[in-house]
Structure 1
Amino acid sequence: MDVAVSTGSAPAGLHWQARAFFASAEKRLEAERSQLAPWAVVAFGGGIALWLVLADPVAWTSLLLFAAGLVLVGLVVGGRSGQVIASVALCAALGCALIWWRSGEVAAPRLDKPRMAAFEADVLRTERLVAKDSLRLTLAPSDPRLPPKFRVSLPLADAESLGPALGVGARIRLRARLAPPMPMALPGTHDFARDAWFMGLGATGRALGDVTIIEPAHESGLDRIRSRLDSHVRSRLSPAEGGIATALATGDQGSVTDSDAEAMRRSGLAHLLSVSGLHIAAVIGFFYLLVLRSLALFPAAALRWNLVALGFAVGALAGVGYTILTGLQVPTVRSCIAALLVLVGVLLGREAISLRLLATGALLILLIRPEAIAGASFQLSFAAVLTLVTLYGSPRFKAWFERREEGWARASLRSVGAMAATSLAIEFALMPFALYHFHRAGLYGVAANLIAIPLTTFVIMPLEAAALLLDVVGLGAPFWALTGWAIGLLLQVAHSVADTPGASTVLPAMPRLAFALIIGGGLWFGIWSTSWRWWAAAPLAAGILLTIAEPLPDLLITGDGKHLAVIDERGTPWLLRDRTGDFVRDLMAENAGFDGDPPPLAAYLQARCSADACVANLGDTGRTLLALRSTQWLDWTELTRACAAADIVVADRRLPRGCRGRWLTLDAPRLRETGGLVIDAEKGRVASVAERVNRLPWAGGGS
């Protein structure tokens, strides 16, 4: 009898708990009904992100079917809860379907292996890369055996010797070494092959020998304006100052010197070089105030016209023109759309910056370029704006920093406090993104931005705009001198902060799960407005703990087997080859969480190296490594004996069958399958690029 009562009450109890849960959810969702729309955009972006993470058509199909099931569940549940379940599932499915479709729509032929080629091609785009001392050309070749579009670099001195004839619209003849787009170098690093896929680039390479111009450049009006503006700005300032001024005027960061770019990154000021919301707002504000103040001098115009609306219209046109001039880059377009929505909202009497406005801007970008969600620029921009919306909507922030009738001293102090609080909040909000994408985050960025942002917005950009306008009548020289002085001050701030000990923190890797938890927690806190927003503390804490607990790898290996780094217990990466390019050196240092120049493996106390190979102990793991580093023929008996004594064998060639390590044998054929590797020898974990990209369209060899 007791048993019967017990078994019969369990379903009733579960049923009651389910009803109580949905009743509570209904109340919470009803209280948050104005915040529900942004979650649809989050779900849409989540579907795109899941497509990239799952990386397999079978998984994508399963996701779509699962989402369809959730839609049906939502319809059955009904009420506000059912609507949320159904709409979130539907939006996630639409996001997944959209990027799946776009990945096929942009597909273009690619090289499947390196080759030498002599060809004629039309120049589609030119990019000056001063830091790399090269000019990068985007070409459309006439040879049908080559991909329809690819990039080729040539020395900057050779390009400048050809003059303006080598520009957009030119037809050239050259010889180049072409290779497939560079794959992800190590698991979790930037995926250049993905960028190339969505840009339609089928190869990259470097010119060999002279470039012959068959037809000189006949640039379009916009390209001509951009090119002349670039040359004009750089001719008025020193190379260092001219590079920064060019980046602000045309969006071209290629003229920024390597040392200045590194200082801007380490000091947390790199965002000032990328044309985004700050620059668009400065341009719109400059022209708005110019029109408003100028027309206010004429009483007839002030009484007859709505000067605010007219100023906004001129500012909007200036913002659109600036966006077009800077090349319609995704961050700039995104910022321009957001700025225009703000202007429309203000004219309609609505709140200038809101979650709905932010969600609308994100949705427009994702509908056009869904792959943008994987980029650091997209994530950093929207995270910063969401932080601003959340902070400015806080009652406590308003109580402390909202403007009020008071003396100028207290008002100035309040403004500085608001700016400091804003910078601090944004710095903390963006730190996970900087660590995930760049393995580095600035620690003194708040102090640097307190000086740099007002300096750039209210001094440098207006001075540069005035100098360009006055150059029309030949009176711009004094303003160029002031612009150069202001940019010099900005660079002095950047270098001073960057050179300060502890200016930045480095992290070897942030697990994807930790990154997802932190993003989810941030969105939960930023979008909801009632007390349950504090539930975000759980995923945020879990993400931070997972990041801290992530162990250092013991071994990093590139996909070609030519380069590897042994990571010691202090996090120092010891490089196999003494002569290694800057890209690989930076790659190994970043993924080891090492702030410095990696030393050679031959100098490592636990390694023995010859001209042909290195044998190294992997810290306290008890594992040993044998890495070949020459192309010379090796005695078969000695080689097989050395292989048998090592746990891991790495070579950039095919090894004989008799050469096998006790745990892993990674020769050229095997590494072509796996791509770059991150190895935790102590726990026996191996992460590969192949696992990351799996069956994504750009993971194969070519078409």
Structure 2
Amino acid sequence: MAPDIQEAGPVGGDKPMRDVPIIPMGDDPGGSDAAGEGVPRPWQRAGGLSSMGGSPGDAAEAFLARAGFDRAPWLAVVFAGGIIAWFALPAMWHWCAAMAGGMAMALGALAVWPPGTVADETRANLRLALVTCGLVFAFGIAVVWARSALVGAEPIARPMVALLDGAVLEREDQPADGRLRLTLAIRDAETGTARKVRVNVPLASFGADGVPPGLAEGAVVRLRARLMPPASPMLPGAYDFARAAWFKGLAATGTMIGRLEVLRLAPEAGGLASLQRWLAAHVRARVDGSAGTIAAAFASGDRGSISEADEIAMRDSGLTHLLSISGLHVSAVVGAAYILALRLLALWPALALRVRLPVVAAGAGALAGVGYTLLTGAEVPTVRSCVAALLVLGALALGREALSLRMVALAAGFVLLLWPESAIGPSFQMSFAAVLAIVALSNSAPVRAFLAAREEPLWARYGRRAVMLFVTGVVIELALMPIVLFHFHRAGVYGAFANVVAIPLVTFVSMPLSALGLLLDTLGLGAPAWWLVEQSLDLLLAIARFTAGQAGAVRLMPQIGGVTVALFAAGGLWLALWRGRVRLAGLVPVALASALVAATPVPDLLIAGDGQQVGITMPGPDGTARLLALGDSRSSYTRDNLMELAGVSAEPVPLASWPGARCSSAFCTLAITRDGRDWVLLLGRGRKQVEERALAAACAEADIVVAERFLPRSCRPRWLKADRRMLTQSGGLAIDLSAERITSVAEGQGAHGWWRPEAPRSRTPQ
């Protein structure tokens, strides 16, 4: 019988084992990773907690020990916070003051506790935390500021028609929209400076011959185009194309007029872009219909052939993330390459006995991941996912825990260092929110207990994993919901249910079969595999259409405030980055933010920056909200913006046909009631000349006047005059009449380079 371990011989020759403090190595509360799995934190050492007194520092040390504090994830959060602060603060002196504040915090900590004078470990740790966080915050502001100064392009001053001679930097095929999108490097005729512009080229302009073979990256072309400065948000909370164009270096966007002439053909050698287009065309030729367009997106990242109806169905069902090459796709490719290499190499005994197969398999997975990333365009989300996958492979090769918060923090820091502007983009936020949710959930004690190995039937084991898959989908949907509503003002309600089937279908059926089809095509035997791919993707689209077609499948939400989003972010990070019961404190800000979302007011009036598009929310005959639209715009972009920001799902009703509205060829008038007060609206319908005295009299009877023209000084409404003079400075407006609050686009822009209040606005991004 084995002796009791506590009565065994002395450890180290001088101390019984029962007196040796046990440091847990396999369940590190701070999260194990490749950088230091099982290494005890300073506050977890043998004497760190036993000698505690009653000081606040000791209490903080005890709290950190119980909560499993790990510095690395919080440093990534602070770095991202500095970047976001630069976008949120309006002026240069604010940016300088914020950087000075971060450095002052670091210097203040060093002044209070100079190096070499602090013997207490708690105070030393506090000093290190203050110094590091202050410097990292200031560094975040400096990084994004430098990035903006280096890549930002001054937009053109005004709309123009110009003859362009330029080199093709990028070609993007969009057959679903009947066009090519060319990014050109041109030289400004007036200033002689180089500019980058993006031009939409209609496919019909090429005639029956189609796109010239030499029209690719590296070609030189001549064309005439109608150019516009990149469009600022149409309304507060709408997509800011001007900001995105600034960080892409675009000075203008537009549409070609007439014919395109190729002055110099692209090099025959081609490149990754040419290979990507060839691969997309090859897959579409093997798989018919909508399934072929999605298969091409999986294989090459080319989404230009996916129809608008399929895009909408995937979006409203919560499956649109499957169309973007990101974490799911890169993980599937890397995982398949790793497992396949590991299994094949294990069949070679001589090699298996001499080398560590996980290291070799990790190398194969890394090559597959990098190759897939380059092949699909190396967009920021794909690069981000590839970096995370490489970190996971490194952890596996070293025998460490693959999924850890430190791995996520390192990947986030890498992406933010190269592309700091991605911190405010939905792609970055959604990707890392989903990964954080997965890691936090998988490392929680209840989940570990639920998935722990046990003696049970096979059906019970896979049943528990199916339940866990659904729970993970629900948690991810809850984590992403605030981000989706903030950026897109709409979210698929049943996405968790659809993803339970769609994600395994894509990961384990569609993508492996696509890879098999490409492999068999080298032998001319790929037809059966491509038929199965078509069936699987038709099933995926059927799931998307069925889910999107259910009542209440889409939730629309007006623009939620920055405080609400900050509460959601703080609560979510607290829930994800702490351990034990203390993490439940994160539910408090989440609950408060949820209450603020529920109380978010619907704007009574939405006024576009050009003054031509006005939306008015009104109660409909059946009690549901309806949206009245002043302009009868054919633009789906304009209509969708008005509907989403008003939180209204029904199609807009033309104002002229609404009972109670009186319209002439120049103006419409409408009286609405909010909280017992009557508001009279006078809305311009064009630039038809109106006698000034009559206009002044009409303005005097109105509370709000909106017009795309310059109105004379004699036009004096009782509350607001939103004419061209005001709107070119403020941008679009959202008005809450009950609170008498006006929100403008300009409020969120500040002195950043992409905002030009004096420049004319285009109504839709090109």
Compute the TM-score of the two structures, normalised by the length of structure 2: 0.86
CA 1:24 to 1:672, structure 2 compared with 1: closer, same or farther past 3 Å?
same
Displacement of 1:23: 4.0
Corresponding position: 1:196 with 2:238: no
Corresponding position: 1:555 with 2:602: no
Letter of the 1:47 partner, please give it: G
Corresponding position: 1:172 with 2:221: yes
- Please point out which of 360, 378, 385 is paired with 2:428: 378
Corresponding position: 1:98 with 2:143: yes
- Please point out which of 557, 574, 586 is paired with 2:640: 586
Displacement of 1:614: 1.3
Match in the other structure for 1:7: none
Q: Contact 1:109/1:147 (CA < 8 Å) preserved in 2?
A: no
Corresponding position: 1:186 with 2:251: no
Letter of the 2:488 partner, please give it: F
Indicate the larger mover: 270-279 or 63-72: 63-72
Letter of the 2:360 partner, please give it: L
Deviation string 1:89-123 (CA, Å, 9 cap, x unpaired) is 22111101111121111132320111110121111
- Please point out which of 691, 694, 698 is paired with 1:642: 698
Displacement of 1:471: 1.0
Letter of the 1:60 partner, please give it: W
Corresponding position: 1:455 with 2:505: yes
CA 1:140 to 1:702, structure 2 compared with 1: closer, same or farther past 3 Å?
farther
Take 2:566 and 2:88, find their aligned partners in 1: how far apart are those partners?
11
Displacement of 1:159: 5.2
Match in the other structure for 2:469: 419
Match in the other structure for 1:40: 75
Displacement of 1:452: 0.4
Letter of the 2:634 partner, please give it: T
**Helix, strand or coil at the partner of 2:304:** helix
Take 2:750 and 2:309, find their aligned partners in 1: how far apart are those partners?
37
CA 1:79 to 1:291, structure 2 compared with 1: closer, same or farther past 3 Å?
closer
Match in the other structure for 1:653: 709
Q: Contact 1:147/1:203 (CA < 8 Å) preserved in 2?
A: no
Take 2:703 and 2:413, find their aligned partners in 1: how far apart are those partners?
50
Q: Contact 2:608/2:732 (CA < 8 Å) preserved in 1?
A: yes
Paired residue total: 685
Corresponding position: 1:113 with 2:163: no
CA 1:193 to 1:396, structure 2 compared with 1: closer, same or farther past 3 Å?
same
Corresponding position: 1:250 with 2:306: no
Alignment of 1:585-664 (within 5 A): 585-620=639-674, 621-664=677-720
Take 1:524 and 1:181, find their aligned partners in 2: how far apart are those partners?
38
Take 2:333 and 2:565, find their aligned partners in 1: how far apart are those partners?
34
Displacement of 1:634: 1.8
Deviation string 1:137-162 (CA, Å, 9 cap, x unpaired) is 11112444476101111223335823
Match in the other structure for 1:678: 734
Q: Contact 1:130/1:258 (CA < 8 Å) preserved in 2?
A: no
Match in the other structure for 1:6: none
Take 2:241 and 2:654, find their aligned partners in 1: how far apart are those partners?
27
Displacement of 1:486: 0.8
CA 1:610 to 1:403, structure 2 compared with 1: closer, same or farther past 3 Å?
farther
Displacement of 1:269: 0.4
Displacement of 1:641: 1.6
Displacement of 1:172: 1.4
Q: Contact 1:26/1:81 (CA < 8 Å) preserved in 2?
A: no
Match in the other structure for 2:342: 292
CA 1:402 to 1:607, structure 2 compared with 1: closer, same or farther past 3 Å?
farther
Take 1:382 and 1:143, find their aligned partners in 2: how far apart are those partners?
40
Match in the other structure for 2:449: 399
- Please point out which of 200, 203, 214 is paired with 1:156: 203
Alignment of 1:4-403 (within 5 A): 21-32=56-67, 34-75=69-110, 76=112, 78-145=123-190, 148-158=195-205, 161-218=210-267, 220-403=270-453
| Structure ranking higher in helix proportion | 1
CA 1:295 to 1:70, structure 2 compared with 1: closer, same or farther past 3 Å?
closer
Take 1:296 and 1:28, find their aligned partners in 2: how far apart are those partners?
47
Displacement of 1:693: 0.3
Take 1:386 and 1:159, find their aligned partners in 2: how far apart are those partners?
48
Displacement of 1:130: 4.1
Take 2:357 and 2:681, find their aligned partners in 1: how far apart are those partners?
73
Displacement of 1:302: 4.2
Displacement of 1:43: 0.5
**Helix, strand or coil at the partner of 1:536:** helix
% of aligned pairs identical?
44
Take 2:644 and 2:184, find their aligned partners in 1: how far apart are those partners?
32
**Helix, strand or coil at the partner of 1:618:** strand
Indicate the larger mover: 395-404 or 302-311: 302-311
Q: Contact 1:241/1:487 (CA < 8 Å) preserved in 2?
A: yes
Deviation string 1:433-457 (CA, Å, 9 cap, x unpaired) is 1111111121111110011000000
Match in the other structure for 1:430: 480
Take 1:213 and 1:615, find their aligned partners in 2: how far apart are those partners?
53
CA 1:132 to 1:615, structure 2 compared with 1: closer, same or farther past 3 Å?
farther
Match in the other structure for 2:743: 687
Displacement of 1:183: 0.7
**Helix, strand or coil at the partner of 2:389:** helix
**Helix, strand or coil at the partner of 2:101:** helix
CA 1:131 to 1:685, structure 2 compared with 1: closer, same or farther past 3 Å?
farther
**Helix, strand or coil at the partner of 2:213:** helix
CA 1:451 to 1:684, structure 2 compared with 1: closer, same or farther past 3 Å?
same
**Helix, strand or coil at the partner of 1:698:** coil
Displacement of 1:304: 4.6
Take 2:673 and 2:752, find their aligned partners in 1: how far apart are those partners?
36
CA 1:115 to 1:341, structure 2 compared with 1: closer, same or farther past 3 Å?
same
Stretches of structure 2 lacking an aligned partner (at least 5 in a row): 1-53, 114-122, 760-766
CA 1:281 to 1:501, structure 2 compared with 1: closer, same or farther past 3 Å?
same
Letter of the 1:692 partner, please give it: G
Match in the other structure for 1:4: none
Take 2:572 and 2:409, find their aligned partners in 1: how far apart are those partners?
15
Q: Contact 2:605/2:614 (CA < 8 Å) preserved in 1?
A: yes
Indicate the larger mover: 383-392 or 649-658: 649-658
Deviation string 1:657-694 (CA, Å, 9 cap, x unpaired) is 21222111111121100011111122111111111101
Compute the TM-score of the two structures, normalised by the length of structure 1: 0.94
Letter of the 2:628 partner, please give it: W
CA 1:386 to 1:310, structure 2 compared with 1: closer, same or farther past 3 Å?
same
Letter of the 2:170 partner, please give it: R
Match in the other structure for 1:13: none
Letter of the 2:519 partner, please give it: L
Displacement of 1:520: 0.7
Deviation string 1:465-502 (CA, Å, 9 cap, x unpaired) is 11111111111111111111111110010011001111
Take 2:295 and 2:689, find their aligned partners in 1: how far apart are those partners?
54
Displacement of 1:386: 0.4
Letter of the 1:250 partner, please give it: S
Letter of the 1:154 partner, please give it: V
- Please point out which of 502, 508, 513 is paired with 2:552: 502
**Helix, strand or coil at the partner of 1:656:** coil
**Helix, strand or coil at the partner of 1:622:** strand
Q: Which protein shows a greater Rg?
A: 2
CA 1:133 to 1:402, structure 2 compared with 1: closer, same or farther past 3 Å?
farther
Take 1:552 and 1:363, find their aligned partners in 2: how far apart are those partners?
37
Letter of the 1:110 partner, please give it: P
CA 1:641 to 1:138, structure 2 compared with 1: closer, same or farther past 3 Å?
same
Take 1:299 and 1:66, find their aligned partners in 2: how far apart are those partners?
61
Q: Contact 1:677/1:686 (CA < 8 Å) preserved in 2?
A: yes
Match in the other structure for 1:5: none
